[in-house]
């Protein structure tokens, strides 16, 4: 099966490429630095020629006002029309669990626009929504610093190791298109504040951490369950605790 990964040099793309190659698939790696530009369209036709599957794991390089929206709109349109022209049988896009609860944030609104473009394209597709990757956790925690203290929103999360999410993406890519949303999540829903405490402990960071109901998640006020996948969605097996221990202590 010929599978094109657009965003192959990125954090997720590189993991998906490795997994697919280990499974014996014929993988084409695409990204702007590899001569395939999803915004201008340069190189897309050649990259998609004869492809069975296209996986979109691109990301906006800048996060200023309107940037992500402009990126996912333009890149989505270019890739979908090139995929259609090439007769691609399955188009996969990676989105975010809870994006519809985060529309006040520019980036997450852009992810919903990306999803809508895929749905409206007429292509056989699967939209994969993943929860937060463990790898980005310190970024999430550090957006809530006030006077040197971590003041976190009262949220439950079900994050997943990026390696496990990549394995699921590879499996979905080689299966039949679902023409719907598939959610991925880690092994267990956990309090954000507990995850933050674990992270601070192993990184020997002694900043005080507490729940602050007024604190926002990337500028958005959310219900406690607003970032959880649907009940019963359990994909990853690795817990944040085990991943953290492995990552920090080897």
Ligand X SMILES: NC(=O)c1ccc[n+]([C@@H]2O[C@H](COP(=O)([O-])OP(=O)(O)OC[C@H]3O[C@@H](n4cnc5c(N)ncnc54)[C@H](OP(=O)(O)O)[C@@H]3O)[C@@H](O)[C@H]2O)c1
Name the residues that contact ligand X, by CB under 6 A. Answer: 6-13, 31-33, 36-39, 57-59, 61, 75, 94, 96, 111, 130, 132-133, 136
CB of 10 to ligand X, least distance (A): 2
Closer residue to ligand X, CB minimum distance, 169 or 193: 169
Q: Compute the distance between CA of residue 98 and CA of residue 220 in angstroms, rounded to an integer.
A: 12
Residue with the CB atom nearest ligand X in the bound state = 10
Q: How far is the CB of 60 from ligand X (least distance, A)?
A: 7
Compare residues 149 and 225 and give the one whose CB is closer to ligand X.
225
Residue whose C-alpha is closest to residue 20's, from 38, 44, 4, 37: 4
CB of 245 to ligand X, least distance (A): 20
Three-class HEC string of 28-83: EEECHHHCCCCCCCCCHHHHHCCCCEEEECCCCCCCCCCHHHHHHHHHHHHHHHHH
Cβ-based nearer residue to ligand X, 58 or 190: 58
Pairwise CA distance, residues 247 & 194, whole Å: 18
- Give me the least distance between CB of 148 and ligand X, in Å please: 26
Closest to ligand X by CB, 63 or 210? 63
Q: Give rounded-to-5 percent helix, strand, coil for the chain.
A: 40, 20, 40
Q: How far is the CB of 78 from ligand X (least distance, A)?
A: 9
Which of residues 40 and 149 has its CB atom nearest to ligand X in the complex? 40
Q: How many CB atoms lie within 10 A of CB 7?
A: 24
Grouping H, G, I as helix, E, B as strand and the rest as coil, residue 145 is strand
């Amino acid at each position: 099966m010929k599978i094109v990964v657009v965003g192959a040099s990125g954090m997720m793309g590189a993991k998906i490429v490795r997994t697919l190659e280990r499974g014996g698939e014929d993988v084409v790696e695409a990204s702007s630095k590899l001569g395939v530009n999803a915004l201008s369209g340069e190189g897309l036709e050649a990259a998609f020629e004869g492809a069975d599957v296209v996986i979109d794991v691109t990301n906006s390089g800048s996060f200023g006002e309107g940037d992500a929206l402009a990126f996912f709109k333009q890149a989505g349109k270019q890739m979908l029309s090139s995929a259609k022209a090439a007769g691609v049988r399955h188009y996969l896009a990676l989105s975010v669990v809870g994006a519809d609860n985060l529309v006040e944030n520019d980036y997450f609104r852009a992810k919903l626009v990306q999803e809508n473009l895929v749905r409206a394209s007429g292509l056989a597709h699967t939209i994969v929504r993943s929860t937060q990757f463990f790898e980005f956790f310190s970024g999430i925690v550090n957006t809530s610093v006030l006077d040197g203290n971590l003041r976190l929103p009262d949220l439950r999360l079900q994050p997943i190791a990026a390696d496990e999410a990549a394995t699921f993406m590879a499996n979905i890519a080689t299966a039949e298109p679902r023409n719907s949303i598939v959610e991925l999540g880690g092994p267990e829903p956990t309090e954000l504040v507990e995850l933050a405490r674990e992270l601070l402990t192993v990184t020997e960071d002694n900043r005080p951490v507490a729940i602050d109901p007024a604190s926002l998640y990337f500028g958005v006020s959310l219900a406690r369950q607003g970032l959880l996948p649907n009940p019963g969605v359990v994909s990853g097996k690795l817990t944040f605790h085990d991943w953290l221990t492995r990552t920090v202590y080897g």
